[in-house]
Structure 1
Amino acid sequence: MSSFSNLQPKKVLFIATRQIGDVLVTTPLITKARELWPDAQFHFLGYRGKLDMLYGNPDIAKIIETSDRPGFGEYLSLFNTLFQRYDLAIVTQPSDRAYIYGLVAAFRRVGVLGGHPQGKEVEDKSKRSKSEKQNAWKKFICMHTVDVDYFNQHVITEKLRLLEVFFRNPADLFNKPNSVTPPVGEPLTPVITNALTQPYVVIHPGPLTAYKRWPLAHWQHLITWIVSRGFQVVLSASPAKQDVQLNHDIISLLGDSTASKVINTAGKLSIPQAGTLLRSAALYIGVDTSITHLGAACNTPTITLFGATPPTNFGPWPNGFIGEQPYQLRARSQTVGNVTILQGPGECVPCRKAGCLDHADSNSECLDLLEPAQVITAIEQAIKST
């Protein structure tokens, strides 16, 4: 580990050049950095359209957006904006581009290193040697780095450990509650507000990739049961074509009386509006996706269905948790705080592959075999404890 640093930066740049969920999980890091440096100015660099999770965040003075595939002119403009403007860059993803931005922007850097996950995943010596060579220059330009561990280290812990070098006792990062900061809410449209006439459950069935999907028939069974218990169901989804279609397909399987109690908000909510919806929900149910993390961050009772992804790495963080690891790697059902994680059967779970065929369009047998009855049991327990 790097030796303790007394650095007191006046300007800090956080860099998260990935998806909206990856942005949200940096917020405990930002909060902890604010405790360290109460007078510093914090800026955040990320991809255009992926930064709504920071809406209204009180610690971020400026958001800098870039496209995920910038042309030469945009690179020049961005480099001019960043060039040596910061005392410290905190690189929260292991990509080469994120590190280059950090190198351009700041005099000092800390960063996450990827390419050689530990734990259950085994790599041969040649692959490990290659990844170590790829990371060598990143280590060289950083005062402190943290290795990714996809099976044993939670992503929130990974981000927080970027500040280890600034604590005389790094354990102090985890001996107080850490929480995810959701975006400030925005009002719902009158159409949605007027449709909400009784207690409701928010369901987000659409993940970014197909191998994280739960079967349509399971959603049909579950929604029918929820409506029979006196709840409305609000189906959320991104504006992406496949997510809108998924919601349509689920509703098409429902009986008329059940469908009349379902509100389809696919593509109709901003991220801040989704936060508003979640804060007043009786319950949230979703797959392994960013909105599930938002549900947990809004302190809503959250049930999430996990397949290939290790919950020890990317399970939604239970707000106020004290410690480094909330979850077990493998448990059919585990509840910590307001979050319940359900996993399907199989000795291979979680494999961290892209489904059984290891590609984005694959199915995941562990999710196919995760029965609605298991989810219903979790719902009954969650409602009983609220």
Structure 2
Amino acid sequence: MSMQFFTLGDSGLKVTRLALGTMTFGTEWGWGSDKATARAIFDAYVEAGGNFFDTADAYTGGTSETWLGEFIAERGLHDESVIATKFSMNLQAHTPNAAGNGRKNILRAVEGSLKRLNTDHIDLYLMHCWDRLTPPEEVMRTFDDLVRSGKVLHVGLSDVPAWYASRAQAIAEHRGYAPISALQLEYSLAERNIENEFIPFGTRYGAGIMAWSPLASGLLSGKYRPSAAEPTAGRLETVRGTTNPGFQKFNERNWAIVAELEKVSAELGRSMAQVAVNWAMTQPGVASIIIGATKLEQLNDNLRALDFEIPSELRQRLDHVSALQPTFPYSFFGSEIQGAMTGGQTVGDKPAGYYPDLNISGKFAGVS
């Protein structure tokens, strides 16, 4: 296998197409990997050529950041590694200013992450989640201060509305702040809603998409198969009682996706997880896919998603079964309306070859 590097958004930060998610480093949440297993997963990823690590201050009570910092130091990979970490969710906070996205908490959180990661700077610092309170002006000013101080090199947003991301980037452009270089968002065959606004935003305004949960919380991993003898009702028991939207994946649309994915995987002679990751990784605008594992064999299987291409006919089948239903206002922009705005003529945005040096994603240049 060969890891390909992409520049992240319009930044000069070079990252591998597969990022290692370390939310599973630690067992504080009742699941995850012990230290020996986490180290083995880290080593396997590095030996496969990976350089991009994703963590957060909230993951496993800080253990994720601490172990990641230790593993990088043990192998002397400080200069080679690209570390992304996040703030917003302080699970131990007892006061409102010790969590969220206000300037006070950002400055508190960054110091904690630097200490746990045992580093003097963070390569990519992301707002973990929109708190519905803090204006983007405050976040972007604080981000810029951190970049100017050298504690942070690049900044990004995770799990925010598209209007918020757009406003934040506009503020950065207008005021000369450090721009948003990355958007970390859920994306998979079962969750394609970012295609409506985030993909166009990212490709036009320089923010690379880092996709999390490419296996849809395990739905696309091969663990759940419509062809299995176990009835669907039995599988539904695995998620009953949770209100986490990340686990609310069992519905008729998604079962149809799983069924088609199983067929396509069989025709390719690949695991369902490999095909699902490969599909997401090669979609327009996607700079990197975050893969996580609690077992070494899971990581090794996902790493093999780099080893093949999905033929166009099979990709079309996956695209079709997982296609989004048009919603307003996108349902309004059909051929009849478009024709009324172009004098009935076919008008493209740019001619073929307008971006001659870029790869198939249209915006993110690969470097070998």
TM-score scaled by length of structure 1? 0.30
Of structures 1 and 2, the one with the larger relative CO (CA 8 A, separation 6+) is 2
